[in-house]
Amino acid sequence: MDDYISERWYSDQKYFTEKVKELGGEVLVEIAYADTTKQMELAKKLIASGVKVLVIVPTDAHQAARIVDMAKKSGVAVVAYDRLILSENIIASRKTFGIYFLLMLPKSSP
């Protein structure tokens, strides 16, 4: 998460967590509080812990692309939530206010 200034993030997290649990998954939440360095550290921590998917609210589209590259090397899928990440390796993007949904599958290796 980027920050928790808006009440909206609490409800987004609640509904997201409920759905993932309903589907048999687990959600780990880390908050970078708009600090791009902290977001990178948290991403490294989550990838090292063995997560299968990172859902990122990027603090910076270019910096977050580095997280995507790092995740891809570890076999971790990345979903950009609410803001775009400037990377061709994103599997999905969701924007909540100005609606778009974009699905990009990772390129298969030859």
Percentage of the chain lying above the pLDDT 90 cut: 26
pLDDT tens, residue by residue, 80-91: 887 778 776 665
List the single range of 23-32, 42-51, 78-87 with lowest mean pLDDT. 78-87
Contact assessment for residue 103 and residue 89, using Cβ atoms and an 8 Å cutoff? no
pLDDT at 103: 40
pLDDT tens, residue by residue, 91-108: 545 555 444 444 444 444
The phi, psi pair for 12, rounded to 5°, reads -60, -45
pLDDT at 19: 87
Whether 36 maps to a domain, the answer reads yes
pLDDT of 20 above 50: yes
Residues 36 and 64: their CA atoms lie apart, in Å, by: 8
Residues 96 and 29: their CA atoms lie apart, in Å, by: 19
Whether 1 maps to a domain, the answer reads no
Contact assessment for residue 4 and residue 27, using Cβ atoms and an 8 Å cutoff? no
Whether 110 maps to a domain, the answer reads no
Whether 2 maps to a domain, the answer reads no
Structural domain boundaries, residue 64? 7-103
Q: Residue 53: give its domain's CATH number.
A: 3.40.50.2300
Domains of the chain: total: 1
Whether 108 maps to a domain, the answer reads no
Whether 84 maps to a domain, the answer reads yes
Closest by CA position to 42, among listed 27, 32, 28: 32
